[in-house]
Structure 1
Amino acid sequence: METTVTEIDAGIFRLSTHVAEIAPPAGFTFNQFLVLADEPLLFHTGPRRMFPLVRAAVAKLMRPEDLRWITFGHVEADECGAMNEWLALAPRAQVAHGKTACFVSLNDLADRSPRMLDDGEVIDIGGNKRLRYLDTPHVPHGWEAGLFYEETSGTLLCGDLFTQLGDGPALTAGDIVGPAIAAEDMFKSSSLSPNMGATIRRLADLSPRKLALMHGPSFEGDGAAALTALAADYDRRISF
């Protein structure tokens, strides 16, 4: 396996590993996002077994030991499996997440105490980069789920939203909703609940210019329209 590095916006880098053995023949991508600033932030750590690959990718851009913030969508191996490996490597690094994640899991799982974030709280990491935390309970799954919005670039770090198969381009202006619907039909990974559509439409209200997907290409274009269409599909599923 190889982890590729692509700058999807100024100072925001996609670190992507395609695993052909998962869901063949298309395979499946695992993406992390490194935001370079005075206090660099890594969104997703990858699983523990991918730690050497992700660390090497980060090293192409900065000293991994200088990482300051570690965060992710929810508590799951591919999102935060290497959390403690990063904490051991980077002495100033701290995990940051919402209250539910901290109370339920991270206060115990993280080798250093995490920073607990309120819904809407902003981490100013310097260099004109500001990450706003957004509670998204059960969206797409996980009680403790939450996402981050980089305010300067208009980039929404989407976690598992829009999950799709394959190893597409790093950045696309094409359709990400259709492939996400197909993947949901296959995996059935989302926690369908009455609040799902409303939660996603709240994200659409941000009018993001870029959507950084964990499993799939990043998207550049009308992020609000893509999120609204995804919310409509979940509404359809819940109405059955």
Structure 2
Amino acid sequence: MTVTNRQSGTNVHEIADGIYRINTPVEFPNGGGGFSFNQYLILDDEPLLFHTGPRKIFALVREAVASIMPVERLRHVGFSHVEADECGSLNEWLAVAPQATPLCGNIAAMTSVGDLADRAPRALADGESLVIGRKTLRWFDAPHLPHGWECGYLMEEKTRTLLCGDLFTQPGSDRPPITESDVLGPSEGFRKAIDYYAHASNTRALIEKLAAARPETMACMHGSAWRGDGAKLLRDLADAVSP
């Protein structure tokens, strides 16, 4: 792990071949506990950043990306759904990376991103693949999983890394960059305290679609990334959140 900003603690760690977790720990005021924001940079001929982070930490994330590659090389800025920590600094990234394009699902492009982004988005259909060089990413529509009509996920097929957004949100600001230990327990504890899942009628079916892709690394947006049998972990999640 490399710390790129000592004041904030922002750090970078390669969780899979060419895939870097950029992590900024935060402490909530009034004893609210710790939390973290993760972005994932995928290096290839057309580098991709998944999650932008909130606008207020843009400078920290930019500094971290610059420690790995020139920020102007960025070609794709992807995210799961429209929310500040997912795409709050999207336009800041488009400004510093003149060849970069927003990357999202069709619903997000239609309802929000086509208007709020300074450049037109590249919209992916369910199951559509994007080749960025040696690596190929596949988009999965996942409406309301855990929230947002426009929600979806990317999986990098060579490393079997699922960019799984908010599915396994773990509290705390000092979790390891990647773990093979339990992440479902901490994430379920956090979810039950402030339930942010939509609990749609097809939640289990959507999770099974992700499980069928057999991910081996889960690139979580908050907390540690996770390595192991991703299909089993996802099916355990389905058991936990489905009626």
Tell me if both proteins adopt one fold, taking TM over 0.5 as the criterion.
yes
Partner of 1:136: 142
1:149 pairs with one of 143, 146, 155: 155
1:202 pairs with one of 194, 205, 209: 209
For residue 131 of structure 1, give the secondary structure of its aligned residue in structure 2. Answer: strand
Equivalence map 1:25-174=2 (5 Å):
26-126=33-133, 128-166=134-172, 167-174=174-181
* Partner Cα distance (2:9, 2:51) in 1: 17
**Is the contact between residue 23 and residue 165 of structure 1 (CA under 8 Å) also seen in structure 2?**
no
Partner of 2:5: none
Q: 1:52-81 CA distances to partner (integer Å, 9 max, x unpaired)? A: 000000000000011000001100001000
> How many pairs were matched up?
235
* Partner Cα distance (2:188, 2:204) in 1: 14
**Is the contact between residue 2 and residue 53 of structure 1 (CA under 8 Å) also seen in structure 2?**
no
* Partner Cα distance (1:92, 1:2) in 2: 29
Partner of 2:233: 226
* Partner Cα distance (1:5, 1:72) in 2: 19
Q: Aligned pair in 2 of structure 1 residues 119, 23: CA closer, same or farther (>3 Å)?
A: farther
**Is the contact between residue 37 and residue 129 of structure 1 (CA under 8 Å) also seen in structure 2?**
yes
Partner of 2:10: 3
* Partner Cα distance (1:41, 1:234) in 2: 31
1:15 pairs with one of 14, 22, 33: 22
Partner of 1:214: 221
> Runs of at least 4 residues of structure 1 off by over 6 A?
none
Instruction: Give the unaligned 5+ runs of structure 2.
Output: 1-7
* Partner Cα distance (2:203, 2:190) in 1: 17
Partner of 2:195: 188
* Partner Cα distance (1:223, 1:24) in 2: 34
CA RMSD of aligned residues (A): 1.1
**Is the contact between residue 212 and residue 218 of structure 1 (CA under 8 Å) also seen in structure 2?**
yes
2:182 pairs with one of 165, 175, 182: 175
Once the 2 structures are TM-superposed, how far is the Cα of residue 23 of structure 1 from its aligned partner? Answer: 8.9
Aligned AA for 1:131? Answer: L
Partner of 2:3: none
Q: 1:6-62 CA distances to partner (integer Å, 9 max, x unpaired)? A: 000110000001111169464111000000000000000001110000000000000
Once the 2 structures are TM-superposed, how far is the Cα of residue 183 of structure 1 from its aligned partner? Answer: 0.7
For residue 148 of structure 1, give the secondary structure of its aligned residue in structure 2. Answer: strand
- Percent identity of equivalent pairs: 51
